[in-house]
Chains A and B, each alone.
Chain A
Amino acid sequence: MRIFLCLFFGSIFFHLIGQSVKPITLEELQQQIDQVAEDQVYVINFWATWCKPCLEELPYFEAIHEKYADQGVHVRLVSLDFESKFEATVIPYIEKKGYTAPVFWMNESDGDKLINGIHESWTGAIPATYVIKGSAYKKFYEQAFTQQELENIVQPLIR
């Protein structure tokens, strides 16, 4: 029994840690953006632990994830923190907050390549959010959102 509990909690623990934050390359993210199925919605939020307005709106993205994940809405929280902050700051922050939306750390140090590789209208300020539905609907927002604003963007896109 004890061994079983150990294995049980151990696996939960492993699962949580394993899920917390994954590195992602620009190419991998571009691939996700290019391959969104026609009836699926991607909400990709670019944030960083040093960016206060970003942290303020993360709960709204988490709420969208919890509310609409089973209706084809995929929230992706992409951290643009420095490499040195990935393990020291980003992972502990996400674990403390307990967010369940998938979180990634952007493994690309060349800002010019990254920003141009995501969207031509992005000047590089964050928070920024890219909303994609299928292959035709692509909208980039270089701004912070209120919960209602985000809701107003996502809701009409749900199938």
Chain B
Amino acid sequence: MLVNLLFVISTFAQGYQVGDQVKDFSLKNIDGTKKSLSEMKAAKGFIVVFTCNSCPYAKAYEQRIMDLNKKYQPKGYPVIAINPNDPVRKPEDSFDSMQKRAKEIGYDFPYLFDETQQVAKAFGATKTPHVYLLEKKSDKMVVQYIGAIDDNTEDANKVEEPYVGNAIDALLAGKPVKKKETKAIGCTIKWKKA
């Protein structure tokens, strides 16, 4: 029992690493429908972004997340945004607020609510924003990059390395991703209090 419990805890703490296969999930989208990765058959992969309405670091990236979708959705890599925050702890991150914010700024990709926080835990996401780039290999989803969107949160004009863009460009060219993992400052995911 204890061993089991420890195993579960360590699995949660670790989450997916680069090269791991991702289990499909089904979450409620802001349009009220349920979305899963497997139903988006045309995609070559996904830019999964754990993000939210409330974190200043996530806010700093809203436009850049939209730009990523604009550039890479036509090439087969759409953005899937997921809000993992507990709205009891952050009312700004409620489902209603997600709908409102997405409408205000014009999100044109799924913005999913991870109400049970199980998806964020399975991925091993710790903060917002936190990106997992997935590539479809036959019927499997494989993690190819984990980390930040780019190397300058405050100022998009001062970015020297667009990590996510570079990773997708490499995949599209059939090359290995050079920088597979980066770290970034973010807001801790607001986990439900036990």
Query: Bound state CA distance, A84 and B126, in angstroms?
Result: 26
B153, B154, B188: the one contacting A125 at CB < 8 Å is B188
Residues of B with C-beta under 8 A to A124: 126-127, 183-186
Residues of B with C-beta under 8 A to A80: 185
The segment out of B75-83, B95-103, B144-152 that lies at the interface is: B144-152
Residues of A with C-beta under 8 A to B73: none
Question: Is A50's beta carbon under 8 Å from chain B?
Answer: yes
How many A residues have CB within 8 A of the partner chain?
Answer: 22
Residue of A nearest to B160 (CB): A110
Report, as a range, how many residues of chain B touch the other chain. Answer: 20 to 34
Query: Do A111 and B185 touch across chains, with their CB atoms under 8 A apart?
Result: yes
Query: Do A112 and B154 touch across chains, with their CB atoms under 8 A apart?
Result: no
How would residues 18 to 42 of chain A score, 1 for a CB under 8 Å from any chain B CB and 0 otherwise?
0000000000000000000000000
B55, B126, B183, B187: the one contacting A111 at CB < 8 Å is B183
Query: Bound state CA distance, A50 and B187, in angstroms?
Result: 9
Residues of A with C-beta under 8 A to B178: none
Residues of A with C-beta under 8 A to B41: none
Residues of A with C-beta under 8 A to B175: none
Query: Do B188 and A112 touch across chains, with their CB atoms under 8 A apart?
Result: no
> What distance in Å separates the Cβ of B27 from its nearest Cβ neighbour in chain A?
22
Residue of A nearest to B57 (CB): A50
Question: Is A153's beta carbon under 8 Å from chain B?
Answer: no
Residues of A with C-beta under 8 A to B187: 50-51, 125-126
Query: Do B184 and A126 touch across chains, with their CB atoms under 8 A apart?
Result: no
How would residues 123 to 145 of chain B score, 1 for a CB under 8 Å from any chain A CB and 0 otherwise?
00011000000000000000000
Residues of B with C-beta under 8 A to A50: 55-56, 187
Residue of B nearest to A116 (CB): B183
Question: Is A83's beta carbon under 8 Å from chain B?
Answer: yes
Question: 14 A-B Cβ contacts within 8 A?
Answer: A51-B187, A80-B185, A109-B154, A110-B151, A111-B148, A111-B183, A112-B184, A113-B151, A114-B185, A123-B127, A124-B126, A124-B183, A124-B186, A142-B126
Q: 9 additional contacts, CB 8 Å, given A82-B154, A124-B126? A: A50-B187, A51-B187, A84-B154, A109-B151, A111-B151, A115-B183, A115-B185, A122-B183, A126-B185
